[in-house]
Structure 1
C-alpha cells in the first residue's frame, strides 16, 4: 500500500482514524513478505483457511474500514464500491483453496484504503466544500 501524505487535508480530518484503517488493511492484506519473491500477503488468506468463520472474521474487520470511511466523509457511491470489494473478497474467498489464493491477490482492504485516501486528497483542494454558505430566506410581505 502506498503511504499517501495528506498535507493539504481539511483541518477536520481524523488522522488517527486514517492511520487505523491503514493498519487494518496492512494487517489483512500485506503484513508478511514472502521471502525471495517480494510479494506480501496478510491475515486475510490465512483466516480464509478456516472455513466460514475465518472469512466472516475477515469480512468484519474489512467492514470496519468501510465504517471509518463513512466517518471520514467518503460519499455513498464510494462506500458502496468499498462494500462491493468486501463482498467479492468474502464470497470468492470462501471457496476452498482457490479462495485463499484469491484473497492473497485481490487485496480488497488495500483497494478500499486507497479509495479513502484518494477521496481525501481530492477534498484537500476543495476547502469550499467544508465551509457552508449562509442560507438567505426572503419573505415577501405583500
Structure 2
C-alpha cells in the first residue's frame, strides 16, 4: 500500500514539473515594470515583495507570506552563479551528511508552517511536499554535484508554490459556496408561503380570480345609473326626491 502511494505521489510531482517549471519562480519577490512620469514604460524593471491574493483569509495570507520568506531564504537568498540562485540550503548542504540532515530539518520546518493554514493541509498535498524534501535530501547526498542539483531542484520553492495554488483553489471554492447559500436564502425569503386550505379569500382557500378593468367599470356605471334613476332618499327629512332629467336626457337629483 505504501509503495503504491509513493508511486502515485511521484507521478504527480513529475507531472507538475513537466507542466510548468514552478521551481524557477521566485516565491517571495516579483519583477514589475517601471513607468516614467508620462506613464510610458521605461524598459526597466524593479523587484518588490509579492502581494498576498485578496481572496485569501487573513490567517492563510500570513501563513503563505511566512512560507514564501522561508523558501526564499533557503533556496535563493544568497548569490547567483551561472544563472543559478543559491540559498542557505545549498551552502549548508556542502557539509557531508550533517549538512544534508540539517537541510532536511529546515525543509521539514517549511512543511510544518504550511500545515498551520485554516483546516490544515490535505494528506495528498502533504505527501507531495514530503516527497519533494526527501528527493531533495537524496540528491544532496552526492558530493558537490548533489549540492548544485539541490540548488536547481529547490524543494522549498516547489512546496511554497504548491501551498499558494491550494489556498487559492480553496478560497475560490469557499466563496462560490457562500454565493450559492446567499442565492438560496434570497429565493427562500422572496417567496410567500402557500395558503392553507380555507384561509384564502376564496371559498376553499383558493385565490380569487383577478377582475378585469372593463368588468369593474361597467359595474360601477350600472350602479351609478341605478342611483340616478331611483332618485335620492333624504334620511334626515324622511322624504324621497324623484330624479330630474336635463335636456340631454341625463338624470340628476331634484332640489328640495
- Normalised-by-shorter TM-score class: 0.7 to 0.9
Summarize deviations over 1:69-93 as a string: whole Å, max 9, x none: 2221221101100000000101110
Q: Which residue of 1 aligns with 2:90?
A: 45
Q: How do residues 50-129 of structure 1 correspond to structure 2 at under 5 angstroms? A: 50-72=95-117, 73-127=120-174
1-structure distance, mates of 2:60, 2:55 = 13
Give the C-alpha shift of residue 38 in structure 1: 4.8
Bigger strand fraction: 2
Rg (Cα) greater in structure: 2
Structure with higher helix content: 1
- Structure 1 residue corresponding to 2:67, chosen from 21, 38, 48: 21
Question: Normalization by structure 2: what TM-score?
Answer: 0.46
**Change beyond 3 A, Cα 1:85–1:130:** farther
> Which segments of 5 or more consecutive residues in structure 1 lack a partner in the other structure?
132-142
Report the Cα distance in structure 2 between the residues aligned to 1:22 and 1:78, rounded to whole angstroms.
Answer: 17
1:52-103 CA distances to partner (integer Å, 9 max, x unpaired)?
Answer: 1111111111111111222212211011000000001011101111111111
Alpha-carbon RMSD across the aligned residues, in angstroms, is 2.2
Shift of the 16–5 alpha-carbon distance from structure 1 to 2, 3 Å rule, reads closer
**Structure 2: stretches of 5+ with no match in the other structure:** 1-25, 28-49, 179-256
Residues 100 and 140, structure 2, Cα contact 8 Å, conserved in 1: yes
* Contact 1:86/1:109 (8 A) holds in 2: yes
Cα offset, 1:4, TM superposition: 5.8
Greater CA drift, 108-117 or 40-49: 40-49
